Amino acid sequence: TSMVNTKHNVKIAAGAVVCVESEIRGDVTIGPRTVVHPKARIIAEAGPIVIGEGNLIEEQALIINGYPENITPDSEVEPKTMTIGMNNVFEVGCVSQALKIGDNNVIESKADVGRNVILTSGCIIGAFCQVNTCEVIPENTVIYGSGCMRRVQTERPQPQTLQLDFLMKILPNYHHLKKTVKAGHHAS
Amino acid sequence: MASLLQPDRVVYLVRGEKKLRASLSQLYFCRYCSELRSLECVSHEVDSHYCPSCLENMPSAEAKLKKNRCANCFDCPCCMHTLSTRATNIPAPLPDDPTKTAMKKAYYLACGFCRWTSRDVGMADKSVASGGWQEPENPHNQRINKLIEYYQQLAHREKQERDRKKLARRRQCMPLAFSEKYGLGTRLQRQRPGGPISSLAGLSLKEGEDQKEISIEPAQALDEVEPLPEDCYTRTISLPEVTTLRQRLLQPDFQPAGASQLHPRHKHLLMKRSLRCRKCEHNLSKPEFNPTSIKFKIQLVAVSYIPEVRIMSIPNLRYMKESQVLLTLTNPVESITHVTLAACEEGDPDDINGTAKVIVPTKELVLAGKDAAAEYDELAEPQDFQDDPDVVAFRKSNKIGFFIKVIPQKEEDADVVVSFKIRHDFRNLAAPIRPSEEGAETATEGVWLTHHVELRLGPLAS
């Protein structure tokens, strides 16, 4: 029998701000103080997604735990969990398929991070850079430019606490929010 | 069909020192010589210097002193983007009472593109927002300055000898400072390749002053060179620590090999240039002085004087079969223009790229003047030109569409290229109005100009 993973099981912790216009499908857990803008898409097809605290997911960002390209959805694949740590920023229009993302990373606008990339902490993937190698990006690496040049910075990017506080105050004034559902319960 | 409007589709021939083919949008028109000019047959002169990020104008003398760099703006040594100044609040002890600490602002430079900061190379945060940043000094500065002084003196002496020889030959009552009075503006003084560089000579002492004899020690050759470190072959290379060639060569004074020694440099100034026709010495293009303004004081571009041919639609072209191509002709001036087309004759030396035979309309085409107020004038009667519908497809204010017949002669894969001559009348409004002897005559006379036009129509239909 083919298992189709469409458990609509979205757990949103208290303190997270998730706009109703965002599209969240599958088994997704969102931690407190995380802001998900409208039109952001978080899609858990081939396994669950766990998002930590203090993350900022901007408009048209796509976080997808999808099937690798050479495997059809029908065959039996073990579902892998995608984990995203704390204080990460997913800027407008980026695509992230990385299975493991640490803390304090910034994925800039229209960047594309592949499935086999592991971001440790303090990494910055520059705008429009496509990283689809099979590697662990060391800490505090900056990838920038059309040739995806790399350099190491001495300090990690600061967590966007000011921006998060501002958004958590302002967004509810203009958008409806998805209801928070504690882990273990189902939305009635 | 925007590909038909690409600039390289229709090119005009420029008969200058070199024969060039370029699109009309890239050409200039000297209305005193009544000829097309391209960037290669005009002389380029520096008009003014400005910084591209703070848009501050800088007089040329100051620019030379600062080595053509801005005083306020810095370039990232890593990615060459402009650096921005950021501020942080740091607790610092008050000068009056060392036990209490107050929040003070500290400034550092940061790059928004590659996230380089001035703290990466160990530059301390400054307490002022601008003016606190210093470039590191070149250790060879003194030696280079001494060499420059010595060679300046030498050049000055050579120039004096040259002047003396010239005066002796001419035997005329010319003022003593002959070559200094007529500086680098006239064509006689322009640098010829291989000749002596007289620009250094102008910067030295005046003629009457006593000149100190400057002597330099020749450079000494060393026998021993610093040996390589012992772990040169065994040490692992950390690639983020090594500078790229481009980063290294942008700082030719130091050429640091390690990324921790890359200091930011002041931003290079850009310059505005003016163009001058080489034959008649008139300015063809002179920009405005203000760096924020994109307008021109003098702008003699070809598109505002010469009728422009554009391709409108191309049918399927087949080898040795006649097809009709629709072209448009636009009149840029405000007076009525008469245009005659002629195919290139056999053995025309300009026609080297043509791969097809072309049959152009034989009758004269009349173009209405460009009238800027035409769309607002509702009562205007449309001018009746009595166009032949076989030749003129449509007419719209100062533009007409007309047909030409093309017969491709070559069966290769390359594009079909046709060329023809276009002859139009040009009224030179810049020429001085001479009082005519025959009574009331038109003040401006029309001159007939002929241009060679080539069109690239695309490949044959398979």
- The tens digit of pLDDT for each residue in B140-162 reads 888 888 888 888 888 999 999 99
What mean pLDDT comes out for the span A75-96? 89
What mean pLDDT comes out for the span A148-152? 73
Amino acid B192: pLDDT: 46
- Of B41, B25, B448, nearest to B276 by C-alpha is B41
Place domain A9-173 in its CATH homologous superfamily. Answer: Hexapeptide repeat proteins (2.160.10.10)
Query: Measured between CB atoms, does B117 come within 8 Å of chain A?
Result: yes
What residues contact B422, with CB distance under 8 A and at least 6 apart?
B307, B309, B339, B340, B341, B342, B450, B451, B453
**Positive or negative: CA dihedral A114, A115, A118, A122:** positive
Report all structural domains of chain B as residue ranges with CATH numbers, in order of start: 69-134+240-268 (no CATH), 307-434+444-459 (2.60.40.10)
- Kindly report whether the global pTM for this prediction surpasses the value 0.80: no
Lowest average pLDDT, out of A58-72, B168-182, B243-257, B373-387, goes to: B168-182
Distance CA B182, CA A103 (A): 69
What residues contact B206, with CB distance under 8 A and at least 6 apart?
none
- Of B308, B437, B305, nearest to B28 by C-alpha is B305
What mean pLDDT comes out for the span B344-372? 85
- The partner residue sitting opposite B114, judged by closest CB among A142, A155, A157, is A142
Tokens 């500078």: give the residue: B243
Amino acid B212: pLDDT: 63
What mean pLDDT comes out for the span A80-84? 92
CB contact (8 A) between residue A155 and residue B113? no
CB contact (8 A) between residue B117 and residue A151? no
For residue B30, the tally of other CB atoms under 10 A from its CB is 24
User: How distant, in Å, are the alpha carbons of B342, B362, B410 from that of B350?
Assistant: 14, 21, 19
All residues of chain A having their beta carbon less than 8 Å from the beta carbon of residue B120 are 153-154
Amino acid B219: pLDDT: 80
All residues of chain B having their beta carbon less than 8 Å from the beta carbon of residue A151 are 78, 114, 116, 240, 259
What mean pLDDT comes out for the span B188-217? 52
* Average pLDDT over all residues of chain B: 81
The DSSP string of B371-398 is -TTGGG-TTPPPP-----TTTEEEEETT
Of all residues in chain A, the one with the smallest CA distance to B120 is A154
Amino acid A87: pLDDT: 93
Does the pLDDT at position B185 exceed 80?
no
* Residue percentage of chain B with pLDDT more than 70: 83
**Bridge-partner residues for B392, per DSSP?**
B402
What residues contact B252, with CB distance under 8 A and at least 6 apart?
none
For residue B404, the tally of other CB atoms under 10 A from its CB is 20
pLDDT in tens, B270-327: 999 999 999 989 999 999 999 999 999 999 999 999 999 999 999 988 888 899 999 9
Amino acid A18: pLDDT: 93
Does the pLDDT at position B415 exceed 90?
no
Query: In the structure, what pLDDT confidence band is assigned to residue A75 with cuts at 50, 70 and 90?
Result: low
Query: In the structure, what pLDDT confidence band is assigned to residue B176 with cuts at 50, 70 and 90?
Result: very low
CB contact (8 A) between residue B115 and residue A144? yes
